[in-house]
Structure 1
Amino acid sequence: MIELVVMDMAGTTVADGGLVEAAFTDAIAEVGVAESDPAFPGMLDHVRRTMGESKISVFRTLLDGDETRARQANEAFERAYGRRVGECTEIDGAAETIRRLRDAGVKVALTTGFSEVTQRQIIDALGWDGLADLTLTPAQAGRGRPYPDMVLTALLRLGVDDVRHVAVVGDTAYDVGSGLRAGASVVAGVLTGAHGTAELTEAGATHVIDSVRDLPAIVRVH
């Protein structure tokens, strides 16, 4: 019996049309790496491969652990994404799926690798205030994906007694890794975002589905 579904946002419930890459380009330029820099293509490739990971962690890796520059880049990223947040749209059927789950008594938490400010901007842009039972960011939980902190924090805050009663859904291997580390019995990868079937399966997804609309059938909500 699934009592809680922990859902990723960008790529899973929210389509952002490549805003992450655009915001990254602005952010990395602010710390001195232009698109013409020989290092830029490799950095962008790393960003693509680590979609779903906490953004501050990505910048720490790219900038060789330089905390000052990583924080500067992360703040620039958040500002750049925020300027474009109006371009975000709902992935078809996402809000309906969340309402369907909640109507069936399943609690829903929306999670992200972004900051709380950016998450709030996305929610406001989509008119999703109050749609989910809980929203969470890495800073609010302790660590971002692939660590299990956001999943476990959602479980604790929403009063779920057993990790086996949790389902996790996301579009990246980092979402899958987070769900597995948390002990969720359903860890579903969706094909609407960054990673494909091979990557999600290799990461250990229990299910790979076309979109979040297919989730109710997996968690047996009618």
Structure 2
Amino acid sequence: MKITVIGGTGLIGSQLVSKLREAGRTVVPASLSTGVDLLTGAGLDEVLEGAETVVNVTNSPTFDAAAPDFFRASMGHLLTAGERTGVQHQVILSIVGVDRVPQLDYYRAKTLQEDLLRNGPTAYSIVRATQFFEFMDAVLSWTSDEQTVRLPATRIQPIATADVVAALAGVATAPPLNGTVDVAGPDVFRLDELGRLTLAARQDRRTVVTDDEAGMFAAVDGDALIAGPVARLAATSYEKWLTAGPR
């Protein structure tokens, strides 16, 4: 089985390429750096030729109102090229609760991407993951200064990217779901609580202030980002991940 990983040089894609190769799969990583441009379709036919499965883990370059245009164009080119070259299974990485937060531009864009895939010509699978452990530093930086970090009390259920990669690899090498699977970490936290835990582990003396208007996740209501009862829960805890060393 040949598998093409679109976005194969990024945080998730590079790990997925390595994991699939370790399992003996023929894998082709594709990205702008390898000459593949999803916005124009350039290079797609070459990397999809002979591929049975395509895993798309690319991301929009922005999280704002321009994101829908990126996913509309990229999915259009990928689905068209996949049908032309005989791809049998299209897989994308999405977000748990993505269709429950319409107030966020990026989440609306990812919902559009899912809809385009569902209505496309090829059998498909959607892997929805919760927020990555590895993104916590970025979240802390959005609303911080030298003394404080302001975070909302939004409930999240974060997951290690290694566990996301394992789920993607399993789905990519299995028959199409023609549906969605959710993957999440084992524990639920308030985001402000998670910030305090992170700073303490890193001996960062800044204070976390609970502010329900701070940052992107302040727009999230209730348990929209929490995985449901049928989600696949990963084994890696945030505390264990934090103590494993620098990232």
Q: Larger % of strand: which?
A: 2
Q: Larger % of helix: which?
A: 1
> Looking at both structures, which has the greater relative contact order when contacts are Cα pairs under 8 Å and sequence separation is at least 6?
1
After TM superposition, the score normalised by the length of structure 2 is: 0.30
After TM superposition, the score normalised by the length of structure 1 is: 0.33
Which structure would you say has the larger Rg?
2
